[in-house]
Structure 1
Amino acid sequence: MAVVFENDLDRDGRKRATASLMSQFQHAAGLCTIIGSFTFLFALVIGLIR
């Protein structure tokens, strides 16, 4: 679980929605990749034990 703080403000002092959204997608993709890798390795080890 990760908490993301965005300091990306435009001229009016508002957050840029697109930058924030892309950042969230990048974090989610990275997290899914890590979880997928561990799941694959775990399944591989279980398969080798049996």
Structure 2
Amino acid sequence: MSFWRVLLAIVFPPLSVIGKGCGSILIVLLLTLCGWIPGVIAALIILNNPDR
């Protein structure tokens, strides 16, 4: 997880998970629409997951 991805996850969460697949983008987008904090948390969790 690079510094730029983390910074992007804080500023605009859906854009930071673009390389992780369509499902991840949709989940993070929906959570960001519900609230900025849930979107940031979901993006950081997805970025920190080494399996994907």
Whether these two folds match at TM > 0.5 is no
> Which of 1 and 2 has greater Rg?
1
| TM-score normalised according to structure 2 size | 0.39
The answer to which structure, 1 or 2, has the higher relative contact order (CA under 8 A, 6+ apart) is 2
| TM-score normalised according to structure 1 size | 0.40
